[in-house]
Structure 1
Amino acid sequence: MLPLATYRLQLRNGVDFDCVKADLDAIARLGVSHLYLSPIFAAGSGSTHGYDVIRPDAVDPDLGGIDGFRYLAAAARARGLGIILDIVPNHTAFSLENPWLRDVLRYGQESRYAQHFDIDWSAGRLVLPWLPRPVKAMLVDGALRVEPDERLGAVLIAGDVRLPLRGGAEGTVEEVLERQCWQLADWQAGSDCITHRRFFNITELICMRVEREEVFDDMHRLILALIATGDVQGLRVDHVDGLRAPGAYLARLRDRMGPDVPVWVEKILVGDEPLPDWPVEGTTGYEQARDIARVLTPPDGVAALTALWSADLGRGTEYAATLTTAKRDILRYDLAAEVLRLVDQGRAALADDPEHDPGPETLRQAVIAMLEGMPVYRTYFGEDGQSAEFADAAMAQMRAHIRASLRPSTTALRLTDCIAQAQTPAEAAFRDLFQQTSGAVLAKSAEDTALYRFLPYPAACEVGAAPDDVALTSDAFAALWAAMAPGAMVLTSTHDTKRSEDARMRLVACAHLPDAVQILWRDMTVLPQVQAALAGGMRKDELWVLMHALLAAWQPAGDAPDLPERVAAYLQKAMREAKEITTPSHPDEAAEAAALRLARDLATAWQAELPEAAAALIERGEMLSLVQLALKTLSRGVPDFYRGCEGPAFWLTDPDNRAPVDLRQGMALEQAQTFGGRKYRLTRDLLTLRREHFTDLQGPGETKLEQTGRGFVVRRQTGGGVIRVELQPGRAPVLRHEPLAQAGIGDAA
């Protein structure tokens, strides 16, 4: 059975199974049907998120271990709650804490786990970029040494690193190193010499070959056991696009679990891209969050904001150009190792083609042009289930980019044939690696770069959204949501969204009141402290980001005493992710200093006296948040509530949106006359209504949004009648269910 609604919890950062168990009553009282937990598997020491798994076959003892999880599952069942687990099949931690990797380091290709990891053994020894300096320099300084070890016989010591050795400790350190299946390297060499496939540009995460049956079995043994015992009722598959063959993986997973366990995939769909025909309920729902923001966005307001941003900041208004530039930067600086690996695979793919004998630079330019031109996260050539029409359109767009940007284009075009119609094992290998890599390129260049550069309307700078496709008519929205699969997840906030749901709606309010934004911007730019910051090297780009961050995150000092530091931390991250004057890997703290001082000063000033224009935008944002809540909860799909979002949620991007929250705040909010109180009560009322009409809501039916003065009406048609939610400023929401005859809509839709 599909969930009525899910409640996403972030474990770690002080939140373990005992903490969750203590919050179960508050969660159950809200009216959801399932807990939705971030990864529970044993992770690296001090992990704040759990995606750096070191043992996929064990529950993390820091969370409470397997006994603690079973105790939590039983307590949840007693309150009528199921559990959905977030699983990580794509990668594990590339560290000595990973016992499978330690075995490989000791025994090389003779290890049982040598083929578990996506290591290119043909490239030579496994590169370990774990040293603070080049290995030669450390040898000269005597910073590497061999010592006996009671358990392993001998280990190599390099600072805090203790590496298992093969062949004992005989000979010099250099001779010992030569006998190993691995070679040490400077951490900065990770950009071009690594021999393992990593998750995005994170060298500390190594990808797994779950397409191999024995690897699948080892990675999923614990998961399948928890499903078999009834402790887990559903799965979320993290980063499905990183797998070599996602469709085949999901088919195997479905076969092992049976037909009744719902599965959702973390998959970003671009534009009107369809989800492949996989045995899943749907995605985790970023496209639904995008649709809600778009239907609430007036296009004329965005046009006014764009004109203001472009004129005052001197920025171009073509997002496509910004994205292409970001892709080039990412391919040059962050994913150079992936480009080199694709060059090698491309060379092998063309080795038997007498018509093509490209040199290394021609191959490199071809690979870069192909990755630049890929308009979606990945295609699924070589598998069933993909929409042929959409795949062909994506390939046509890539080829058009190649022809326009590359001279000569013959090698790149020939390699596109390898992707679309691989004829040999070498061509298939290139196809698969390209498809695994293209998603990382788009994620890093769009989500983690371009969306921090192209900011006329920050509400559209969101995971799964597109800053050049910001609005949706009510009729178009109704058609999209009528076609939604009943099991599709509908989210508005996650641990990965750039802003939480209420913060985003304040930014959507900017398109409703562009004149207020212009006033706010004008008044801000003439402040003495702002003038001083601009004179001290701060750019207007950062000031624009800061203004919107303050608007999104603002709360009174009593509710958010840490706001000045949170906003400054966000601005620093935004500047680094933009990668124009400072970067995450090579920060320029001097260039950041003036902006961060101003962030703290303005946050403090806003908490002392909120600008009138900001207050108007915040008031409008509150109304939009309630509309968003109604659209999500009355959807055909499965509404997902991120922890704490039943109340006010004004967080910025991670780590701000991953900090612990008090899940028992509902007791205080229930009677509160604040926005948080109104949102909490509406959440409970909507979930009660959803439970009463659950079967009808899962069926087809139109969702229409109507604006009535300063308010809105959400109208959800079902086979059993019409549900109406009326939202007006200064009034309590009105929820009505009109049975079929009373609604006067004739037969069931």
Structure 2
Amino acid sequence: MPRIPLATYRLQFNHCFTFLDAARLIPYLHALGITDCYASSFLKAVPGSLHGYDLIDHGQLNPELGSETDFAAFVAALKTYDMGLLVDVVPNHMGILSAENRWWWDVLEHGPGSRYASAFDVDWTPLKRELNDKVLLPILGDQYGTALEQQDIRLVCEEGGFVVTYFHHRLPIAPASWAGILSFRIDDLAGTAGEEHHAVQELRSIVTALRHLPPARERSMESMAERDRETQLARRRLAALMSDSQDVRAYVGATVERYNGTKGASDSFDHLDALLNEQHYRLASWRVASEEINYRRFFDINELAAIRTEDPRIFAESHRLIFRLIKEGVATGLRIDHVDGLYDPEHYLRQLQDWAATELPPQVGEDRLSLFIVVEKILGAGEQLPCSWPVAGTTGYDFLNLLNGLFVRTDHAKAMEAVYRTLTGQRQSYEELVYQAKKLIMRASMSSELNVLGHELNRLSERDRHYRDFTLNSLTHAVREIIACFPVYRSYVTADREGVLERDRRFIHQAVACAVQRNPAVSRQVFEFVRDLLLGSLPPSQKLTNEERVRFVTRFQQTTGPVMAKGVEDTVCYLYNRLVSLNEVGGDPGRFGRSLEQFHQGIRDRYAGWPHAISTTSTHDAKRGEDVRARLNVLSEMPDRWRKAVARWMRMNKRHRTELEEGPAPERNVEYLLYQTLIGAWPVGALDAGRYEEFGKRIERYMIKAVREAKVRTSWVNSHEAYEDAITRFIQKLLERRSGNPFLNEFLPFQGMVAKYGMFNSLSMAVLKVAAPGVPDYYQGTELWDLKLVDPDNRVPVDYATRESMMAECVRLERATGEDRLATLRAWCASWEDGRIKMFLLSQALRHRRAQADLYLHGDYVPLASQGRFHSHLCAFSRLYQDQAIVAVAPRFLASMEAEQQGASPDNLWQDTAVTVPSWKPGSVYRHLFTGERFETTGHGQHQVLSVGVVLRHCPVGLLIRSEP
């Protein structure tokens, strides 16, 4: 069977964190208990990339991360500690901003005749006829004509060829167009140098050769090869000629200057304009992208163009280096980025497993997988990962939201909703906001994709007399409404599958029924036509082939995901602020937490279906760090206290708001988000002037990003400077560090109380995550408190020197015994702000997990009941494998519990609460992994139990190990 990681650690590679940096870190990660590095994409990306998802060459390591030798050092360090490497694969798109992307450059140079034309999902015959055989490039900061006549667009001769520049952009000029440039004033050159001059004759010969290049419409392999060969020959000849002949060099330089025009003389730019119109791309303002772009993007990001991995040649070329690393034993598993963007995710995943089954040594065991693969897949409410996918599971957002919801008081949902509505005036439900946000995305940034779907649907309806009376507008409206109502990211209808998956059938029916209900004035027949087309249940027709239907369905499926992502993750998650710890990727903010029973059932389902899926709590894409969420969950325990606090803060800070023409800034909903953000992200420990100022800047940057993403009064496309300035001033006034700041005088004690209880939540989540089925994953730096916000805040360099020093202390504590160990542990709990207690518990648990791999990988999951007054404040379960057993004991809702007891002593906090544990005889013995203590079970009816108060006397959480032989 393939290697299954026991614990992964996510590393973000960029020029600030290189292969050598990672190599030096491996001994520390081993000491932490990590078994596999989980690397961000390290293939060649756009220069300066901080994330690597804008890769430009699948066949090279990113030179900004180091040399091949540096990479070998990293690999050697991994092998020294028997660590695996989970590699992030980006099969859906490439970065196209850099001229170093040779695939994209070739497409721009040769258009549909490029050997890589099929690599990108470009519509060469789009609705806008002027774009036939062209790619729309929305890179201009102004209108095309203005940019041209301001001389921002310039023709340049370089390396025996011609390019166009626009600030940092470089774009090719098609070789066939070189002929026009080189012959522009060639008679003048011949008159000066003489027609018989060898330089003039050579230049005319080059022009003739360029005019006889195979045209772009000829797309055979022979024509492509001839065009490439002759282009390179012409380039070398021209470079040599310009090097040898001063006359030709001066002539070309003067010609280029003429093409570049003269400011103020509009007609002087006609030649450059005509030249640009000959190219296989059309330069345009970035504002036209949403309506006219004709290449599929990653979501709505113009700089990331989708590639067609379904093409076998492109699949092979884009995975050659990755496959080599797997065969060499360097990469031991893959993480597939944005799997829902692919044409057919299941087919792609089977291609990977088929390759592994053929190319890798035969596997031992009965595992159905030849290679460990996890997919970045966001599961909607009620959605399961398709069981036919040959993967170990997802990258863990489902686990993140399941675990996080356990620490939210579900019984306080109505109270927290009332607080939110009363203080902010917000009335729309979460579901309504999602519906409206998805429609906004389709109107504002993805209208081109909707126009294409509408026209394709109209073309299909015209093919059959039963449907031809549906108008273009009604069909486009129906598609828009169905997508706005679609409950999950996408369906998986394919050409080679018999029928439609039951899950997809259910989601399509649900979306159409919702769309019909929301549109009572529109004929339901048009919605039913789209439904039947998606389901393949239209009556047989010779005029509408299955291939045509699947082509439309595929476009539809590749649109629903981006609309959902942009509408929910990048809009509503910044707009619906009832309790923002729930506003997470893959989450359902409309659902207020999870009951203990729901949590256990979710973990049981996970163990039954995907026992080796990733279990994450923080990622590079998360909206908030795990410990920010842990703090904010505490607010769900105290709705009345929270309401009173925010009401006071709003009253005292009213004077800091700015009255703008359209209303106060910030509005109350944004202010409500700000208070939660400050509570969740406030740094631990004392803050000197420098740290305090940086924290304030972080909050300012975050809040500006948040209001732009919410798209209410400002956005990335149309920023409102006065509004954003008002937000910034408001934050600065709130955070003024002076003794007379009434807000801080009230806020800081409240925040400190929440942070303390948040710490208990964090430690509970830590132990549950390690012990539960799945592969626990740790985003870089989160072994200490993770108080970062959304990117780029969560991608700053990690202070590993401090962490390595703390790890040395943890190792020393591990060796301590008896009262020395207990006293140190109590001291670390008391000084929890420095994070040592979190690192110690994690490292102890992960090292035990590594030592007892079979127990954690294959052990049964058994929820444990508890008894006593505070039984609902405890989550406990055991893992059982042969004669081994562990018991995880994790408190929750401690703020509520302590409030009920009004200052009870720590020794009596849990009173009569006990937890039932697996036992083989009365007086079974368990050892507390963290404290070293041993406990004997006592009888309670037919069961053996342990007193929770005794187990948690010296440590906030427990991981108990069966100690009997």
Q: Say yes or no: TM over 0.5.
A: yes
1:716 aligned residue (878, 886, 908) = 878
Decide which moves more: 646-655 or 345-354: 345-354
- 1:341-352 to structure 2, matched below 5 A, reads 341-352=452-463
- 1:164-183 to structure 2, matched below 5 A, reads 164-166=172-174, 167-169=176-178, 170=180, 172-183=271-282
C-alpha distance in 2 between matches for 1:233 and 1:685: 25
2:266 is the alignment partner of 1:156: no
Contact 1:705 1:712 in 2 (8 A): no
User: Aligned residue for 1:638?
Assistant: 775
Please state whether the residue corresponding to 2:370 is helix, strand or coil.
Answer: coil
The aligned length equals 744
C-alpha distance in 2 between matches for 1:40 and 1:537: 43
2:448 aligned residue (316, 331, 337) = 337
Measured against aligned partners, the alpha-carbon deviations of 1:2-30 in whole angstroms (never above 9, x if no partner) come to 11110011112611111111222211110
- 1:172-571 to structure 2, matched below 5 A, reads 172-258=271-357, 259-276=369-386, 277-316=388-427, 318-357=429-468, 358-382=470-494, 388-406=501-519, 407-421=522-536, 423-484=545-606, 485-527=610-652, 529-533=653-657, 537-555=665-683, 556-558=685-687, 560-561=691-692, 562-571=694-703
Measured against aligned partners, the alpha-carbon deviations of 1:532-576 in whole angstroms (never above 9, x if no partner) come to 326563211111011000011012443853211111111111111
Contact 1:376 1:394 in 2 (8 A): yes
Q: Which amino acid aligns with 1:348?
A: R
Contact 1:347 1:363 in 2 (8 A): yes
2:837 is the alignment partner of 1:678: yes
1:595 aligned residue (724, 727, 735) = 727
Change (3 A) 1:735 1:184: farther
Decide which moves more: 507-516 or 307-316: 507-516
User: Aligned residue for 2:816?
Assistant: none
* Structure 2 unaligned blocks of 5 or more: 127-131, 185-270, 358-368, 538-544, 738-742, 810-827, 895-905, 925-936, 945-965
2:157 is the alignment partner of 1:131: no
Aligned-pair identity in percent equals 30
Decide which moves more: 227-236 or 667-676: 667-676
Change (3 A) 1:632 1:489: same
Decide which moves more: 383-392 or 637-646: 383-392
Decide which moves more: 546-555 or 600-609: 600-609
C-alpha distance in 2 between matches for 1:384 and 1:633: 39
Please state whether the residue corresponding to 2:60 is helix, strand or coil.
Answer: strand
Please state whether the residue corresponding to 1:121 is helix, strand or coil.
Answer: coil
User: Aligned residue for 2:899?
Assistant: none
2:771 is the alignment partner of 1:661: no
Change (3 A) 1:474 1:201: same
User: Aligned residue for 1:105?
Assistant: 108
Shift of residue 386 of structure 1?
A: 10
C-alpha distance in 2 between matches for 1:546 and 1:710: 31
Decide which moves more: 709-718 or 502-511: 709-718
Shift of residue 668 of structure 1?
A: 4.2
Measured against aligned partners, the alpha-carbon deviations of 1:269-294 in whole angstroms (never above 9, x if no partner) come to 01221101200000001011111112
2:119 aligned residue (116, 119, 125) = 116
C-alpha distance in 1 between matches for 2:498 and 2:95: 31
Contact 1:474 1:704 in 2 (8 A): no
C-alpha distance in 1 between matches for 2:511 and 2:416: 31
User: Aligned residue for 2:60?
Assistant: 58
C-alpha distance in 1 between matches for 2:152 and 2:52: 32
Change (3 A) 1:354 1:130: same
Please state whether the residue corresponding to 2:292 is helix, strand or coil.
Answer: coil
Change (3 A) 1:410 1:387: closer
Shift of residue 409 of structure 1?
A: 3.5
Change (3 A) 1:252 1:630: same
Shift of residue 149 of structure 1?
A: 2.5
Measured against aligned partners, the alpha-carbon deviations of 1:100-136 in whole angstroms (never above 9, x if no partner) come to 1111111222221110011111221111112222333
Please state whether the residue corresponding to 1:639 is helix, strand or coil.
Answer: strand
Shift of residue 745 of structure 1?
A: 8.2
Q: How large is the RMSD of aligned CA atoms in angstroms?
A: 2.7
Q: Which amino acid aligns with 1:51?
A: Y
Please state whether the residue corresponding to 2:480 is helix, strand or coil.
Answer: helix
Please state whether the residue corresponding to 1:250 is helix, strand or coil.
Answer: helix
Decide which moves more: 374-383 or 212-221: 374-383
Change (3 A) 1:576 1:557: farther
Please state whether the residue corresponding to 2:118 is helix, strand or coil.
Answer: coil
User: Aligned residue for 2:709?
Assistant: 577
Change (3 A) 1:421 1:414: same
Decide which moves more: 665-674 or 295-304: 665-674
Contact 2:621 2:790 in 1 (8 A): yes
Change (3 A) 1:705 1:626: farther
Decide which moves more: 407-416 or 312-321: 407-416
Q: Which amino acid aligns with 1:362?
A: S
**Structure of greater Rg:** 2
Shift of residue 157 of structure 1?
A: 3.5
Contact 1:302 1:457 in 2 (8 A): no
Q: Which amino acid aligns with 1:685?
A: Q
User: Aligned residue for 2:856?
Assistant: 697
Measured against aligned partners, the alpha-carbon deviations of 1:511-535 in whole angstroms (never above 9, x if no partner) come to 12223322321331232x4433265
Decide which moves more: 399-408 or 53-62: 399-408
Decide which moves more: 8-17 or 433-442: 8-17
Please state whether the residue corresponding to 2:861 is helix, strand or coil.
Answer: coil
Q: Which amino acid aligns with 1:677?
A: R
Measured against aligned partners, the alpha-carbon deviations of 1:684-714 in whole angstroms (never above 9, x if no partner) come to 1111232233212223312458694897453
Shift of residue 600 of structure 1?
A: 3.2
Contact 1:516 1:613 in 2 (8 A): no
Shift of residue 599 of structure 1?
A: 2.0
TM-score normalised by structure 2 residue count: 0.73
Please state whether the residue corresponding to 1:107 is helix, strand or coil.
Answer: helix
Measured against aligned partners, the alpha-carbon deviations of 1:350-404 in whole angstroms (never above 9, x if no partner) come to 3422222233322321221121111100011126599933222211111112212
Q: Which amino acid aligns with 1:717?
A: R
Q: Which amino acid aligns with 1:538?
A: P
Contact 1:74 1:231 in 2 (8 A): no
Measured against aligned partners, the alpha-carbon deviations of 1:218-247 in whole angstroms (never above 9, x if no partner) come to 110010001111111111000000001000
Change (3 A) 1:722 1:715: farther
